[in-house]
Amino acid sequence: MHIWLVGAGYWGSKVKEALSKIPDVTDVTIVDIREGKTIDDITTKDPVILATPLWQHASQVIELLKRGHDVYCEKPLAETLEECMLLETLVRDQVLMVGHIFLYNPLLHELKNVIDSGELGIVHHIESRRLNWGIRQTKTTPLLSLAPHDVSIVNYLIPEAMSVTHAKGISFSNNTVPDYVEFGDINYTIKVSWWWPKRERIVTVIGDRGQAVWDEDSKQVVVFAGKMDGDYPVREVATRVINYTGPSPLENELAHFVDCVKTRKTPRTDVNNAVQVAEVLDAAAGYLSLK
């Protein structure tokens, strides 16, 4: 399979490396603006992977779908729910997949199994933290740049629809957009920032019989048994640790896209999945204000 890769920056270079590990991919042609190339330089109807700035996604996907391409687009699929719903109407018999990469991480599936098994009892709350010291941006916010990952994760773990009852955005850097965004409801909290001194990529699940913590950086899920001594909780002790040492989530994700192109099956993270995430992001955006 020949693939067009649009965008060869920080993430595009990682995509190219991951594609080299997929046996079915025989050739990758780079289309990069720094070399004066655009999607207009795509000359065949082979599949296209978009690793371009998020504010370009919607217009590029629209054009590629109209040309008949199968498309994998990095998250978010578009900046608004309205744009995602428009893209949904344009898909015919094509594969359209969004890069909600953590749905291709086996540790997320392990965490889901822990929840569904009842080991934690009734799950009362999930917190997802994606915090780091990163590049300050002015054309987007952490809500669109980072939170699609966390919304897709929580949406996968919690079977009921996600609502948003509160959100706040704070600028720590006199930026014109918030550097920190926090939102959620009684069932979950998501915290994202590119202006944070310590890197954190942690999902915590709190149940009435136990807790579980997924640390993406340590590549493990730790399950804790919750115990009571009369009316007092006993400090939880890790009962087991689940590790993962297989292919990277990016490799898993891209292999899934290639398989969907070959077999014509619907991707796990299809346009409907993108719409579900966009609904939550749009709701959170409605609450945001700088403080």
What average pLDDT does range 180-189 have in this prediction? 97
Place of tokens 């933290």: 129
CA angle, 252 then 13 then 43, to 5°: 90
pLDDT at 239 over 90: no
pLDDT-above-90 percentage for the chain: 85
Per the model's pLDDT, the better-predicted residue between 172 and 256 turns out to be: 256
DSSP state of 56: G
Choice among 60-64, 153-157, 200-204, 224-228 with the minimum mean pLDDT: 224-228
pLDDT at 238: 72
pLDDT at 175: 76
pLDDT at 188: 97
Whether the Cβ atoms of residue 182 and residue 168 lie closer than 8 Å to each other: yes
Q: Starting at the earlier edge strand, list the strands of the sheet with 71-74.
A: 27-31, 2-6, 48-50, 71-74, 96-99
Predicted confidence band at 2 (pLDDT cuts at 50, 70, 90)?
Answer: very high
pTM here is: 0.94
pLDDT at 19: 97
pLDDT at 290: 55
pLDDT-above-70 percentage for the chain: 95
Q: What share of residues in the chain are helix, strand, coil (percent, to 5)?
A: 35, 30, 35
257: its two tokens: 């896209």
Beta strands in 171-279 (DSSP E): 180-185, 188-193, 195-207, 210-215, 220-229, 232-243
pLDDT at 291 over 60: no
pLDDT at 227: 65
Predicted confidence band at 144 (pLDDT cuts at 50, 70, 90)?
Answer: very high
110: its two tokens: 């392990």
pLDDT at 137 over 90: no
Whether the Cβ atoms of residue 61 and residue 52 lie closer than 8 Å to each other: no
Predicted confidence band at 119 (pLDDT cuts at 50, 70, 90)?
Answer: very high
pLDDT at 27 over 90: yes
135: its two tokens: 């590049």
Q: Map out the domains of the chain with their CATH numbers.
A: 2-100+250-269 (3.40.50.720), 103-248 (3.30.360.10)
Predicted confidence band at 208 (pLDDT cuts at 50, 70, 90)?
Answer: confident
pLDDT at 287: 94
Name the average pLDDT for the chain.
94
pLDDT tens-digit map of 74-118: 999 999 999 999 999 999 999 999 999 999 999 999 999 999 999
Beta strands in the chain (DSSP E): 2-6, 27-31, 48-50, 71-74, 96-99, 123-133, 166-170, 180-185, 188-193, 195-207, 210-215, 220-229, 232-243
Q: What is each CA distance from 271 to 20, 53, 201, 288, in whole angstroms?
A: 26, 19, 25, 25
d(CA 13, CA 1): 19
What average pLDDT does range 127-136 have in this prediction? 92
pLDDT at 225: 81
d(CA 250, CA 17): 10
Per the model's pLDDT, the better-predicted residue between 247 and 176 turns out to be: 247
